Amino acid sequence: MSEQYRKRRCIVPVDGFFEWRRSRGDHYLFSGDHYFIASTL
């Protein structure tokens, strides 16, 4: 459950980050960075 909860928490900030990166033409985001990004927002 903890793992699933963490993934759900990441969905919104990560999606927003993907949109921002995509608009800059940068696609070098790895799945391991999701938790790092979510924890820094």
Predicted structure pTM score:
0.21
Closest to 38 (Cα-Cα) out of 8, 1, 4, 3:
8
Q: What percent of the chain has pLDDT over 90?
A: 0
Whole-number mean pLDDT of the chain? 59
Distances (CA, A) of 1 to 4, 7, 14: 5, 10, 20
Q: DSSP states of 15-34 as a string?
A: HHHHHHHHHTT-----TTHH
Q: Is the model's pLDDT at 39 over the cut of 60?
A: no
Distance from C-alpha of 24 to C-alpha of 5, rounded to nearest angstrom = 30
Q: For 11-28, what is each residue's pLDDT tens digit?
A: 556 666 666 666 665 545
Which of the pair, 27 or 39, is modelled with greater confidence? 39
Q: How far is CA 1 from the centre of its chain?
A: 19
